[in-house]
Amino acid sequence: MDLRQLHYFCQIAQSGSVSRASGVLHVAQPALSRQMQALEAELGTALFIRTGRGVLLTSAGRALLTEARQMLDEADRVSRHIRTFGTRISGEATIGLSPTIGRLLTLPLFQCVRSDYPGLTLRIAEAFSGTLLEWLQTGRIDAAILYHQPPAGGIRAEVVGHEPLSIIAGARFAPFPAGSVQPIAALAGQPLILPTPQHGLRRMVDDHAAMNGTKLGVMFEFDSLAATIAIVQQENVLTILPESAVQAELSAGTLQAWQIGKPALARPLVIATAAQRADAIGSTDIATLLRGVLLGDSHGLKLNMTGEDQRDCG
């Protein structure tokens, strides 16, 4: 008795006819009949009562049908389980994250790897986008989440969405009406704390302000996300960040936010991997892992979804 015979048996029992089962299974009727005769001979009992209109199950046949269905279901479960080992990521991988996205995604990444990829040892490297791109090009990291399309040079890039940027202030400093949308010009003359000019977010804000003829009054420059948040919570200054980076503080009421422009000023969120990999972990697998975590709904990341823009650079 083998699984193929049991599969044939269940289909004949369901169809009530060897000829109808033959059409469903795409197996010749004589071959099906021989398989059932061999099964009955092996078990030493009749499984079907043959009639002019088809077949009926004997009491032994009904008992076998229950057992056979359970055995086929279990065989299918085992097969699907084992096949997953051929597609799961295993080995070691290093993923580069910026401080803002790292604050949000490190825990979901840990939880995802722990539950779904037990064979993967994951390392997280934190730096700004420019440094992450350099590390990716030199092979120091396997994948990164960037805020810009990388230049040509063996990098595969996929834009998964655009992350809106907002004006952020402490709870006690309210220069704008709650819930309002503010143009970048509204920040002229306002006290600002922003990253240094080499930071991608700062360059985007400066370019947007220049395009709109606005001069920003940057009082302080910090490349520390934690320090920026602490100062904004306590002092009457503003900063610009994605709301996802300060979701905990917004929920707690220690910070408030205003959208910049309509449509919102937003930066692209890019999954970048090396186009050629030397180890056993494929870049496509790493990109799939990152995409699943990025687009999950458990971490509060808000993206403006456009069509996927995927390309190979170089």
Q: Please write the tens of the pLDDT for every residue from 21-32.
A: 999 999 999 999
Q: What is the pLDDT of residues 173-226, one digit of tens each?
A: 989 999 899 999 999 999 999 999 888 889 899 999 999 999 998 999 988 889
Dist CA 248 CA 104 (whole Å): 10
Helices (H), the chain: 3-15, 18-25, 29-43, 59-87, 99-116, 129-138, 200-211, 225-234, 247-252, 283-294
Dist CA 313 CA 151 (whole Å): 7
Can you name the CATH fold of 91-162+268-313? Answer: D-Maltodextrin-Binding Protein; domain 2 (3.40.190)
3-86 and 91-162+268-313: identical CATH topology: no
User: What pLDDT sits at residue 1?
Assistant: 79
Can you name the CATH fold of 166-264? Answer: D-Maltodextrin-Binding Protein; domain 2 (3.40.190)
> What is the average pLDDT across 288-309?
62
